[in-house]
Structure 1
Amino acid sequence: MIPAAPKGFRSWTTHLGLADEGRDDFSMVVSDRPCTASVVFTKSLFAGACVTLSRSSVDRTCPRGVVILAKNANVATGTQGLRNANEIRSAVARSAEIDPDALIMASTGVIGVQYPMTTIRGGLTGLGEGFPLDAHAVASAIMTTDTRAKVSVRAVGASTIVGIAKGVGMIEPDMATMLSFVFTDAEISQDDLDRTFRDIVERTYNSVSIDTDTSTSDTAAIFANGAAGPVSHADFVVALEEVCTDLVKMIASDGEGATKLIVTTITGASSERQARLVGKTIINSPLVKTMIHGEDPNWGRVLMAIGKCSDETDIEPDKISVAFADTVVFPSSSLDEETSKANMEAVRVHLAAPTVEINVNLGIGTERWRVYGCDLTDGYIRINADYTT
């Protein structure tokens, strides 16, 4: 049985008044001991005050915890927003009895609104010593338009890896997802952890897209406090990638208004870059998304999306094959009429499933990439049309 949480981490959650639903909107997780860590931030030119503050701290020290506020991004709030973030982080650091620089800070929600500091100051009094890490409580407290908490756990030897995430919209990461934090009591060196995490970020968080929009607040981090001792590095890598892949699938399937998870696998590419480009182009196509939502086996829209990659001059249409799960739809010229009709019906049935698989072989190389996304529905439009009202 996998332990509920890695050893040596404490968590706090509370309601500060940012969310009007009466639910917790503040959370903090801190290790009782120093950690090795890896943190990746958004590349957005409009990065929020919390990202700015955290970047500066990571340059000075290795963090051992995170503070997260939901429902207010603290973005485009100027020097006052930065002062407010610094004040909040300093206050919670005093409660945790650690240096403020040992905490990274994250915040997501509405852009351009200052924190309600009077309310927040009152809510932060008497946080206490915290409790053993409750990943589900923290994952619930960081949600904005998410419909469910996102948590994944794996065991590696005597250690545990637990990951949490939030994010269902404004997701076309240029680093990670909107917010994702991983905690483990495995002992792993700083260099090994950083190299491993950044590599896995590329294959997971950087390979998910909901709507092509990059958040101003994206942050992904892992903290390893070594309380459970050393583990097999190979086993750790496998388990960590499984945790991050779980979270990515949860994010994509919970995309704003989404009804289906789309998994697109590109093989036979001349480079990983090319495979990722083609996969993202397919997953981001509004026509592909709506075709899948409508369960319409109009597979020509996948060819259209591939055709948009016009700078990839080594891609040759005659070498490409396209399948939905195991059903090949292109090339179709060699199929008789009866087989073509049977294949179309098989695709229609597959499109009715909660997970839709699109498999494309470019037929020009040996590289592959997998990307994750969701369908496009009228629910997405309504959620974002009414976001602040």
Structure 2
Amino acid sequence: MTHVHALNRSPGPVTWPTGFRAYTGHGGLREHGDDISIVASDRPATSAAMFTRSLFAGPAVTLSRAHAAGQNLCAVTTLAQNANVATGRQGEENAAEVVRRVAGILGIPEDEVLIGSTGVIGRPLPMGTIRTHFDETATRGLAAFVAGPLDVARAMMTTDTRPKTALRTVGQARIVGIAKGVGMLEPNMATMLAYVFTDADMSPADLDSALRGAANRTFNCLSVDTDTSTSDTVAVIANGAAGPVDPAGFSEALTDLCLDLTQQMASDGEGAIKLLRVTVGQAGDYGQAKRIAKSVVNSPLVKTAVHGADPNWGRVLMAIGKNADDSDIAPGNVTVRFGDIEVYPEEPEADTLDKLIGIMRQDEVGIVITLGLGQAEATVYGCDLSADYIRVNADYTT
């Protein structure tokens, strides 16, 4: 049996796996604080990556998709606060120049560098300040690479309120993940920006299989506002410094790590104060379970009820029922629970109302639905909807 150790919440800072180093600095993308980061392996590596399906994918995604095809990425660079999307040919040239400069600093081929860019859409990168920044960084070389995972996670943030990191181990290998994302968040492949670095020795095929399996059960089960970003990227880089590990054990550890990051992003949703977890069981198949769960977690009426600690189970029935194509769902076979209290079809007694409200007031609210059709189950993750979500997004560019 493989033992997976959830170490990311233990005392002390999360540090890089063997053979990785990182840099963060201020390149003028935001007014204050680090906004450019680089994480690199000091030896050849294997990699796997997934990207947004948006028709308006930015130059960072199109360039990285081409580089990721070789499955030998060794470095990731991220620009925060500017998505460099809808910026035309100049945006493509700017992304390529950033990659070229990072590759030069590291002394590796350009096609071994992945680039992520996140923030406002439709604005060109401030290449003047970025060039000056990279010129200065180049003079320092690898001596500048002293940043830890928390530093990089913080430098990637846009409207996030806190950096997101996670750590797992499998055998002698360590797996470290960093992520950002709190809005424009319902991916079809991964989510916003999430990078995983490990010193495990994994074949490209096993690494790709592990990533896709993990993303399907975690990042693809996340939604804050039903909107898919133009910049979504998830990648894993494995440099083999710790030697080979059991592929099944690695997949288990990677999925656990990605779930941790998923929950961190959901609970930090823009304006959110609560994590919302919706589980649908006894579905005909996994696709149906996930579809119904997403329908509930994405409902503005459900999300506002969670925000107000209002156990309005009728809104959950509405969110299930609007899936008209799932005609095999029969209301008489459905059950709904808030926490451990059934609210449908057996309406709770009046004296349990206070307990229901108490459940809805918790930092994490769980809704469990059974469909009475089969054995499939899916859990999805989201958050409540508050007035602060409107405030953040109404003022995003001004």
Q: TM-score w.r.t. structure 1 length?
A: 0.96
Partner of residue 260, structure 1? 274
**In the alignment, is residue 297 of structure 1 matched against residue 302 of structure 2?**
no
Q: 1:361 aligns with which of 363, 366, 370?
A: 370
**In the alignment, is residue 83 of structure 1 matched against residue 93 of structure 2?**
yes
Residue 239 of structure 1: how far off its partner (Å): 1.4
**1:1-389, aligned counterparts within 5 Å?**
4-20=15-31, 22-60=32-70, 62-127=72-137, 128-129=141-142, 130-131=144-145, 134-332=148-346, 340-389=349-398
Asked if structure 2 preserves the Cα contact closer than 8 Å seen for 1:171 and 1:215, the reply is yes
Separation in structure 2 between the aligned mates of residue 210 and residue 121 of structure 1, nearest angstrom: 35
Residue 140 of structure 1: how far off its partner (Å): 0.3
Give the partner amino acid of 1:36. Answer: T
Please give the secondary structure, in 1, of the residue aligned with 2:175.
Answer: strand
Residue 242 of structure 1: how far off its partner (Å): 1.2
Asked if structure 1 preserves the Cα contact closer than 8 Å seen for 2:51 and 2:61, the reply is yes
Please give the secondary structure, in 2, of the residue aligned with 1:126.
Answer: helix
Separation in structure 2 between the aligned mates of residue 50 and residue 71 of structure 1, nearest angstrom: 14
Q: 1:154-185 CA distances to partner (integer Å, 9 max, x unpaired)?
A: 12121110000000000010111100000000
Residue 322 of structure 1: how far off its partner (Å): 0.4
Q: 1:71-114 CA distances to partner (integer Å, 9 max, x unpaired)?
A: 00000000000001101110111001111110011100010100
Aligned residues: 383
Please give the secondary structure, in 1, of the residue aligned with 2:197.
Answer: strand
Q: 1:124-181 CA distances to partner (integer Å, 9 max, x unpaired)?
A: 1232204366110100000000000000001212111000000000001011110000
Unaligned runs of 5+ in 2: 8-13
Asked if structure 2 preserves the Cα contact closer than 8 Å seen for 1:5 and 1:133, the reply is no
- Structure-2 change in CA distance of 1:60 and 1:196 (3 Å): closer
Residue 341 of structure 1: how far off its partner (Å): 1.4
Question: Once superposed, what is the RMSD of the aligned Cα atoms?
Answer: 1.3
Partner of residue 11, structure 2? none
Partner of residue 336, structure 1? none
Residue 48 of structure 1: how far off its partner (Å): 0.4
Asked if structure 1 preserves the Cα contact closer than 8 Å seen for 2:186 and 2:227, the reply is yes
Residue 33 of structure 1: how far off its partner (Å): 1.1
Residue 235 of structure 1: how far off its partner (Å): 2.2
Residue 261 of structure 1: how far off its partner (Å): 0.2
The more displaced of 221-230 and 128-137 is 128-137
Please give the secondary structure, in 2, of the residue aligned with 1:332.
Answer: coil
Asked if structure 1 preserves the Cα contact closer than 8 Å seen for 2:24 and 2:147, the reply is no
Q: 1:216-238 CA distances to partner (integer Å, 9 max, x unpaired)?
A: 00000001111000122232222
Separation in structure 1 between the aligned mates of residue 146 and residue 63 of structure 2, nearest angstrom: 27
Give the partner amino acid of 2:17. Answer: P
Separation in structure 1 between the aligned mates of residue 52 and residue 353 of structure 2, nearest angstrom: 41
Residue 384 of structure 1: how far off its partner (Å): 0.2
Residue 342 of structure 1: how far off its partner (Å): 3.0
**Runs of 4+ off more than 4 Å:** none
Residue 61 of structure 1: how far off its partner (Å): 5.3
Residue 332 of structure 1: how far off its partner (Å): 1.7
Q: 1:287-320 CA distances to partner (integer Å, 9 max, x unpaired)?
A: 0000010111111110010001110011111000
Separation in structure 1 between the aligned mates of residue 194 and residue 351 of structure 2, nearest angstrom: 42
Partner of residue 10, structure 2? none
Residue 4 of structure 1: how far off its partner (Å): 2.4
Q: 1:335-376 CA distances to partner (integer Å, 9 max, x unpaired)?
A: xxxx51133322111001000000001111100000000000
Identity of aligned residues (%): 51
Q: TM-score w.r.t. structure 2 length?
A: 0.94
